Structure 1
Protein backbone atom coordinates (compact mmCIF):
# COMPACT_ATOMS: atom_id res chain seq x y z
CA UNK A 1 0.00 0.00 0.00
CA UNK A 2 2.86 2.35 0.80
CA UNK A 3 4.24 1.92 -2.71
CA UNK A 4 0.89 2.93 -4.21
CA UNK A 5 0.77 5.97 -1.93
CA UNK A 6 4.37 6.91 -2.78
CA UNK A 7 3.57 6.57 -6.49
CA UNK A 8 0.61 8.91 -6.03
CA UNK A 9 -1.92 6.29 -7.16
CA UNK A 10 -3.90 6.18 -3.91
CA UNK A 11 -4.40 8.49 -0.96
CA UNK A 12 -4.83 7.56 2.68
CA UNK A 13 -6.85 9.33 5.36
CA UNK A 14 -7.74 8.45 8.92
CA UNK A 15 -11.40 7.53 9.40
CA UNK A 16 -13.01 10.30 11.48
CA UNK A 17 -15.45 7.80 13.02
CA UNK A 18 -12.83 5.20 13.92
CA UNK A 19 -9.26 6.44 14.28
CA UNK A 20 -7.97 2.86 14.01
CA UNK A 21 -9.09 2.70 10.39
CA UNK A 22 -7.59 4.31 7.33
CA UNK A 23 -9.63 5.18 4.26
CA UNK A 24 -7.95 4.48 0.93
CA UNK A 25 -9.03 6.24 -2.28
CA UNK A 26 -7.80 6.28 -5.84
CA UNK A 27 -6.21 9.57 -6.83
CA UNK A 28 -6.75 11.18 -10.21
CA UNK A 29 -3.44 9.65 -11.31
CA UNK A 30 -4.59 6.24 -10.04
CA UNK A 31 -7.90 6.49 -11.90
CA UNK A 32 -6.09 7.45 -15.11
CA UNK A 33 -3.78 4.44 -14.78
CA UNK A 34 -6.68 2.12 -14.02
CA UNK A 35 -8.48 3.36 -17.14
CA UNK A 36 -5.36 2.64 -19.23
CA UNK A 37 -5.23 -0.87 -17.78
CA UNK A 38 -8.89 -1.46 -18.66
CA UNK A 39 -8.26 -0.25 -22.21
CA UNK A 40 -5.29 -2.62 -22.45
CA UNK A 41 -7.38 -5.53 -21.19
CA UNK A 42 -10.05 -4.81 -23.79
CA UNK A 43 -7.42 -5.15 -26.52
CA UNK A 44 -6.53 -8.67 -25.36
CA UNK A 45 -9.61 -10.03 -27.11
CA UNK A 46 -8.37 -8.54 -30.38
CA UNK A 47 -5.10 -10.45 -29.98
CA UNK A 48 -6.76 -13.69 -28.90
CA UNK A 49 -9.16 -13.81 -31.85
CA UNK A 50 -6.33 -14.55 -34.29
CA UNK A 51 -4.89 -17.43 -32.24
CA UNK A 52 -5.77 -21.09 -32.48
CA UNK A 53 -6.52 -23.07 -29.30
CA UNK A 54 -2.92 -24.27 -28.82
CA UNK A 55 -1.58 -20.74 -29.18
CA UNK A 56 -4.17 -19.43 -26.71
CA UNK A 57 -3.24 -22.11 -24.17
CA UNK A 58 0.46 -21.32 -24.60
CA UNK A 59 -0.19 -17.60 -24.16
CA UNK A 60 -2.29 -18.19 -21.04
CA UNK A 61 0.35 -20.52 -19.58
CA UNK A 62 3.11 -17.98 -20.28
CA UNK A 63 1.11 -15.14 -18.70
CA UNK A 64 0.38 -17.28 -15.63
CA UNK A 65 4.08 -18.10 -15.30
CA UNK A 66 4.97 -14.41 -15.51
CA UNK A 67 2.33 -13.58 -12.91
CA UNK A 68 3.64 -16.26 -10.54
CA UNK A 69 7.22 -15.06 -11.02
CA UNK A 70 6.43 -11.40 -10.45
CA UNK A 71 4.06 -12.07 -7.54
CA UNK A 72 6.84 -14.02 -5.84
CA UNK A 73 9.29 -11.16 -6.41
CA UNK A 74 6.87 -8.58 -5.02
CA UNK A 75 6.16 -10.71 -1.95
CA UNK A 76 9.89 -11.25 -1.41
CA UNK A 77 10.58 -7.52 -1.65
CA UNK A 78 7.71 -6.81 0.70
CA UNK A 79 8.97 -9.34 3.25
CA UNK A 80 12.52 -7.95 3.03
CA UNK A 81 11.33 -4.40 3.61
CA UNK A 82 9.53 -5.43 6.82
CA UNK A 83 12.77 -6.74 8.37
Structure 2
Protein backbone atom coordinates (compact mmCIF):
# COMPACT_ATOMS: atom_id res chain seq x y z
CA UNK A 1 0.00 0.00 0.00
CA UNK A 2 2.75 2.42 0.92
CA UNK A 3 4.71 1.58 -2.20
CA UNK A 4 1.73 2.26 -4.43
CA UNK A 5 1.11 5.53 -2.65
CA UNK A 6 4.76 6.51 -3.02
CA UNK A 7 4.79 5.54 -6.71
CA UNK A 8 1.61 7.54 -7.38
CA UNK A 9 3.09 10.52 -5.56
CA UNK A 10 6.28 10.30 -7.63
CA UNK A 11 4.30 10.02 -10.86
CA UNK A 12 2.28 13.14 -10.00
CA UNK A 13 5.43 15.04 -9.08
CA UNK A 14 7.07 13.93 -12.32
CA UNK A 15 4.16 15.18 -14.43
CA UNK A 16 4.15 18.52 -12.60
CA UNK A 17 7.87 18.94 -13.18
CA UNK A 18 7.46 18.06 -16.86
CA UNK A 19 4.75 20.72 -17.21
CA UNK A 20 6.97 23.31 -15.50
CA UNK A 21 9.86 22.36 -17.77
CA UNK A 22 7.69 22.79 -20.86
CA UNK A 23 6.57 26.23 -19.66
CA UNK A 24 10.16 27.28 -19.05
CA UNK A 25 11.19 26.06 -22.50
CA UNK A 26 8.38 28.07 -24.10
CA UNK A 27 9.43 31.18 -22.19
CA UNK A 28 13.02 30.67 -23.29
CA UNK A 29 11.95 30.38 -26.94
CA UNK A 30 9.97 33.62 -26.61
CA UNK A 31 13.02 35.42 -25.21
CA UNK A 32 15.20 34.19 -28.07
CA UNK A 33 12.79 35.47 -30.70
CA UNK A 34 12.57 38.85 -28.98
CA UNK A 35 16.36 39.15 -28.92
CA UNK A 36 16.70 38.41 -32.63
CA UNK A 37 14.28 41.21 -33.42
CA UNK A 38 16.36 43.76 -31.53
CA UNK A 39 19.45 43.34 -33.75
CA UNK A 40 20.52 46.79 -34.94
CA UNK A 41 20.56 47.70 -38.60
CA UNK A 42 23.98 47.36 -40.20
CA UNK A 43 25.81 50.58 -40.93
CA UNK A 44 27.85 50.62 -44.14
CA UNK A 45 30.53 53.24 -44.74
CA UNK A 46 30.43 55.19 -47.97
CA UNK A 47 33.53 56.32 -49.91
CA UNK A 48 33.56 59.82 -48.44
CA UNK A 49 33.60 58.56 -44.85
CA UNK A 50 36.25 55.94 -45.67
CA UNK A 51 38.55 58.64 -47.08
CA UNK A 52 37.93 60.81 -44.01
CA UNK A 53 38.76 57.92 -41.67
CA UNK A 54 41.96 57.18 -43.59
CA UNK A 55 43.01 60.83 -43.37
CA UNK A 56 42.35 60.88 -39.63
CA UNK A 57 44.39 57.70 -39.17
CA UNK A 58 47.32 59.26 -41.05
CA UNK A 59 47.13 62.37 -38.85
CA UNK A 60 46.98 60.20 -35.74
CA UNK A 61 50.05 58.24 -36.92
CA UNK A 62 51.94 61.54 -37.21
CA UNK A 63 50.91 62.80 -33.76
CA UNK A 64 51.05 59.53 -31.83
CA UNK A 65 52.71 56.72 -33.81
CA UNK A 66 51.76 53.88 -31.45
CA UNK A 67 48.06 54.75 -31.30
CA UNK A 68 48.04 55.56 -35.01
CA UNK A 69 49.44 52.18 -35.98
CA UNK A 70 47.06 50.44 -33.59
CA UNK A 71 44.04 52.17 -35.15
CA UNK A 72 45.47 51.48 -38.61
CA UNK A 73 45.70 47.76 -37.82
CA UNK A 74 42.14 47.79 -36.51
CA UNK A 75 40.94 49.48 -39.69
CA UNK A 76 42.61 47.04 -42.09
CA UNK A 77 41.27 44.05 -40.16
CA UNK A 78 37.74 45.41 -40.52
CA UNK A 79 37.13 46.10 -36.86
CA UNK A 80 33.95 48.10 -36.25
CA UNK A 81 34.25 51.27 -34.24
CA UNK A 82 37.41 52.53 -35.92
CA UNK A 83 35.51 55.31 -37.58
Q: Indicate whether the TM-score tops 0.5.
A: no
The TM tier, using the shorter chain, reads 0.3 to 0.5
| Structure with higher strand content | 1
TM value normalised by structure 2:
0.35
Q: Which has the higher contact order (CA 8 A, sep 6+)?
A: 1
TM value normalised by structure 1:
0.35
Q: Which has the larger radius of gyration?
A: 2
